[in-house]
């Protein structure tokens, strides 16, 4: 187990390095941030001054070396726009994004598993067919469009829910959260659902497919031959087998929830990392973009590791040490 | 021996209503098993053995359904019983063991979980008491270090051990009848022999009745008391196992056993009979074996009935092999 984790950590470090190279050099192909800080009345000397101040006068490999050195000390550069450490700015907005992503994850489980289970157990019923049709819509409708529609219906037409911002927050262990206040919860509902829709559809399909498959397995028939109640057969024998792929996929998808939150946060003006990223891109604030992407890669790596460990807990057949990966 | 058999199945019909038509998987099965008796059930693939077993447990799934007939367990009619009552009988009065031990245990639940729940589904006993009984059941089927084994997951067992666990689970509530569907086919010969020996002992000691479905004539010859031969959803021959193997009445049984001399016959698998099992969707009028039967004639266009040829023997054929096997051999010798 510990050998496995050690090996995974080394692989992860490699991934981080590769990502740093790609991100850092890739971003230098796009635009020249100096022009964002230049006004028409500046002369050549002033422009060179700005370039020097941003550190953009050095050759790119030197900039990269400097970036790596500071990154090792936990400094991912200073935002051109805010003049503050990029990492700090991102971490400051991370709780909002994480809250959104976790709520969406919860919705995916709470809605997805029961609906998928129902559709799997009664595949021919009209309700199941509607569930499956709904999940196809959930898959294919673009997130931003659904977000706008949600605002239209629930905020504009019905006026039930607010459409922008986090609402009131309270501090939980020093981190501001929305879900503990009624106002915050109201603000959370729409964006979280918007973000969750894709994952709900995914969980429905996974659960349904798993149910359809498991229901014909011998161990289910054997459980019935033992005279167990339907509740126990579905709730324990069936569900425990289905949960393995669902948990795995959901865990891996958590990274993409955070990544996708860029769209949702923009639509709902949710003050998270995603919104910060979009603004940074518009202003060519390279350090923030780089820091954000590094952060996302880091999260993906950590999540994958956690999922692997969780998987081995759920599925007794998996022994982490035995696996090649 | 007491008068009412443990299980009496009469003219059972279980049909599958598929898109392609009605598959008459079981179409008039009659058989009975007494206390302490092992009934061997043989027949080609698709002849309806498993469906017969599932019908007895009330586990026929959509699109299948028991359309008519009677299944009496200790005199109590099971056909038409509501699901809730059937559930209370399954696992308590009738248990089943499946063919593939690798698939019957739930891979993500520990063995103790799967055993204890089987007891507690029927009896309001404490978890400790149920665990104790599970442990005893494991000992009974010859599983070493049962305490450790209880804590294990199925994948930590070999195939033979898993089948023992399945048998132990079937025994947990001391049922009156166990339907064992080719339970040793997937195991190697030594393990098979051990399990057979233990099962036989159990039946003799406890009065447990058993239906042993198999393809293997060696197993049936050594284990069963009586033999029922199925063809296309019907029992075509039935009788004491030695009699049937030595002097089959039905041409199909005859074909199954083959033309090998009788002492070499034991240990042989069912031999191949030329021709194919008829499609259950389009069974011919009359005897369903007619297309493959060397003795078929015009009389066979009418469906033969299951006829008694001696107190303990029956066959479903217009031209059984009676003349060839002199009447005495078939007759009388077997009186329970
Ligand atoms: N779910 C089902 N839907 C449609 N037909 C079915 C279904 N289950 C069984 N049948 C029909 O019942 C027939 C008998 O099947 P069964 O499994 O009882 O045969 P078997 O004698 O146990 O064969 P084997 O030796 O291969 O196990 C099959 O050939 C099939 O046509
Ligand atoms: S009834 Fe006729 S066709 Fe059928 S088995 Fe007997 S002899 Fe053959
Ligand atoms: Mg079968």
Q: Could you tell me if residue B149 is left (phi over 0), alpha (psi between -120 and 50 degrees) or otherwise beta?
A: alpha
Alpha-carbon span A56 to A64, nearest angstrom: 11
First to last CA, chain B: 8
| Inter-chain touch A244–B166, beta carbons under 8 Å | no
Which residues of B, range 215-274, sit inside 8 Å of A by Cβ?
none
Q: pLDDT value at position B267?
A: 52
- Structure-block tokens of residue B143: 């599983």
Q: What is the mean pLDDT of residues A11-15?
A: 86
Q: Judge if the beta carbon of residue B51 lies within 6 A of ligand 1.
A: yes
In chain A, the percentage of residues whose pLDDT exceeds 70 is 98
Alpha-carbon span A65 to A58, nearest angstrom: 11
In sign, the C-alpha dihedral spanning B49, B51, B55, B59 is: positive
Three-state secondary structure call for residue B307: strand
Examine the pLDDT at B148 and tell me if it is beyond 80.
Answer: yes
Q: pLDDT value at position A324?
A: 38
Residue A250 contacts residue A307 (beta carbons within 8 Å):
no
- B138-147, B153-162, B315-324: which has the minimum mean pLDDT? B315-324
Tokens 């004639």 sit at which residue?
A: B297
| Inter-chain touch B90–A225, beta carbons under 8 Å | yes
Side-chain half-sphere exposure of A192, counting CA atoms within 13 A: 26
Examine the pLDDT at A282 and tell me if it is beyond 80.
Answer: yes
- Structure-block tokens of residue B327: 């009447």
- A104-113, A212-221, A251-260: which has the minimum mean pLDDT? A251-260
- Structure-block tokens of residue A76: 């991912």
Alpha-carbon span B68 to B279, nearest angstrom: 21
Q: Given B91, B108, B155, which is nearest A225 (Cβ)?
A: B91
The C-alpha angle with vertex B32 and arms to B30 and B37, in degrees rounded to 5, equals 150
| Inter-chain touch A316–B155, beta carbons under 8 Å | yes
Cβ-based neighbours of A195, under 8 Å, separated by 6 or more: A100, A101, A104, A143, A257, A260, A261, A264
Alpha-carbon span B7 to B55, nearest angstrom: 12
Angstrom CA distances, B191 to A297, B168, B183, B196, stand at: 53, 15, 11, 9
Q: pLDDT value at position B119?
A: 96
Query: Measured in angstroms, how far is the CA atom of residue B263 from the centroid of ligand 3?
Result: 28
Read off the pLDDT of residues A31-57 as tens digits, 9 standing for 90 and up: 777 777 777 777 788 888 878 877 777
- Structure-block tokens of residue B93: 């009065």
How much is the mean pLDDT over chain A?
86
- A274-283, B179-188, B204-213: which has the minimum mean pLDDT? B179-188
| Inter-chain touch B166–A223, beta carbons under 8 Å | no
Q: What is the mean pLDDT of residues A283-308?
A: 85
Which has more pLDDT, A320 or B226? B226
Query: Measured in angstroms, how far is the CA atom of residue A247 from the centroid of ligand 1?
Result: 35
Alpha-carbon span B58 to B153, nearest angstrom: 29
Read off the pLDDT of residues A95-142 as tens digits, 9 standing for 90 and up: 899 999 999 999 999 999 999 999 999 999 999 999 999 999 998 999
What's the predicted TM-score (pTM) here?
Answer: 0.80
Closest CA to A255 of A292, A296, A213: A296
Q: What is the mean pLDDT of residues A73-98?
A: 86
Which has more pLDDT, B195 or B179? B179
Residue B34 contacts residue B1 (beta carbons within 8 Å):
yes
Q: pLDDT value at position B272?
A: 67
Q: Given B57, B98, B122, which is nearest A218 (Cβ)?
A: B98
Which atom of ligand 2 is found nearest the CA of B299? Answer: 2
**Beta-sheet strand order (sheet of B64-73):** B21-33, B7-18, B64-73, B76-77
Burial class (CB in 10 A: 0-12, 13-18, 19+), A102: middle
Examine the pLDDT at A182 and tell me if it is beyond 80.
Answer: yes
Enumerate the β-bridge partners of residue A152: none
ipTM: 0.87
- Structure-block tokens of residue A40: 């028409």
Read off the pLDDT of residues B258-309 as tens digits, 9 standing for 90 and up: 744 444 445 555 566 777 777 777 777 889 898 888 888 889 999 999 888 8
Q: pLDDT value at position B88?
A: 94
Task: Work out the minimum CA distance from B201 to partner chain A, whole angstroms.
Answer: 23
- Structure-block tokens of residue B226: 């009586």
Query: Measured in angstroms, how far is the CA atom of residue B50 from the centroid of ligand 3?
Result: 4
């Amino acid at each position: 187990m510990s050998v496995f984790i050690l090996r995974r950590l080394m692989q992860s470090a490699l991934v981080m390095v590769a990502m740093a190279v790609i991100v850092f050099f890739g971003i230098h192909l796009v635009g020249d941030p100096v022009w964002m800080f230049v006004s028409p009345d500046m002369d050549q000397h002033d422009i060179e001054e700005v370039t020097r101040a941003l550190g953009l006068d050095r050759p790119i490999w030197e900039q990269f070396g400097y970036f790596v050195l500071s990154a090792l000390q936990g400094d991912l550069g200073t935002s051109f726009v805010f003049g503050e450490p990029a990492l700090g700015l991102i971490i400051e907005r991370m709780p909002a994004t994480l809250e959104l992503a976790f709520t969406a994850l919860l919705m995916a489980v709470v809605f997805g598993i029961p609906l998928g289970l129902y559709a799997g157990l009664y595949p021919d019923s009209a309700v199941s067919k509607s569930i499956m049709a709904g999940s196809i819509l959930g898959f294919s409708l673009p997130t931003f469009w659904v977000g706008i529609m949600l605002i239209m219906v629930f905020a504009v037409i019905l006026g039930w829910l607010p459409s922008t911002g986090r609402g009131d927050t309270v501090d939980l262990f020093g981190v501001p959260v929305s879900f503990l206040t009624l106002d915050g919860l109201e603000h959370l509902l729409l964006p979280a659902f918007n973000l969750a829709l894709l994952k709900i559809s995914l969980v429905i399909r996974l659960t349904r497919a798993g149910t359809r498959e498991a229901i014909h397995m011998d161990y289910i028939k054997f459980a019935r031959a033992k005279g167990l109640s339907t509740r126990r057969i579905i709730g324990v024998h069936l569900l425990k087998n289905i949960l393995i792929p669902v948990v795995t996929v959901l865990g891996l998808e958590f990274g993409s929830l955070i990544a996708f939150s860029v769209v949702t946060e923009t639509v709902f003006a949710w003050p998270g990392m995603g919104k910060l990223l979009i603004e940074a891109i518009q202003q060519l604030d390279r350090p923030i973009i780089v820091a954000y992407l590094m952060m996302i890669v880091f999260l993906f790596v950590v999540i994958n590791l956690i999922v692997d460990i969780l998987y081995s807990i759920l599925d007794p057949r998996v022994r982490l040490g035995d696996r090649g990966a | 021996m007491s008068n009412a058999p443990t299980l009496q199945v009469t003219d059972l019909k279980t049909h599958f209503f598929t898109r392609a038509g009605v598959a008459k998987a079981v179409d008039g099965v009659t058989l009975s098993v007494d206390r302490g008796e092992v009934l061997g059930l043989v027949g080609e693939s698709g002849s309806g053995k498993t469906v017969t077993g599932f019908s007895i447990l009330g586990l026929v799934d959509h699109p299948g359904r028991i359309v008519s007939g009677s299944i009496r367990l200790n005199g109590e009619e099971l056909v038409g019983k509501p699901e809730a009552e059937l559930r209370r009988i399954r696992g308590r009065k009738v248990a089943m063991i499946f063919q593939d031990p690798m698939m019957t245990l739930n891979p993500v639940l520990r063995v103790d979980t799967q055993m204890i729940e089987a007891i507690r589904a029927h009896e309001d006993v404490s978890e400790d008491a149920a665990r104790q009984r599970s442990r005893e059941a494991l000992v009974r089927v010859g599983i070493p270090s049962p305490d450790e084994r209880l804590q294990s997951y199925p994948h930590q067992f070999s195939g033979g051990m898993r089948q023992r666990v399945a048998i132990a689970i079937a025994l947990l509530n001391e049922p009156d009848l166990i339907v064992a569907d080719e339970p040793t086919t997937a195991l190697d010969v030594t393990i098979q022999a051990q399990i057979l020996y233990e099962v036989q002992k159990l039946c003799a000691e406890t009065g447990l009745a058993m239906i042993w479905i198999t393809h293997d004539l060696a197993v049936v010859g050594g284990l069963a008391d009586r033999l029922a031969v199925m063809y296309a959803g019907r029992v075509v021959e039935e009788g004491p196992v030695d009699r049937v193997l030595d002097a089959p009445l039905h041409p199909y049984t005859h074909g199954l056993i083959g033309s090998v001399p009788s002492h070499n016959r034991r240990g042989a698998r069912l031999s191949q009979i030329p021709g194919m099992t008829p499609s259950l969707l389009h069974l011919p009028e009359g005897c369903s074996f007619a297309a493959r039967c060397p003795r078929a004639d015009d009389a066979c266009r009418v469906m033969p009935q299951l006829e008694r040829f001696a107190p303990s023997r029956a066959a479903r054929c217009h031209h059984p092999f009676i003349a060839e096997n002199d009447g005495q051999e078939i007759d009388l010798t077997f009186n329970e």
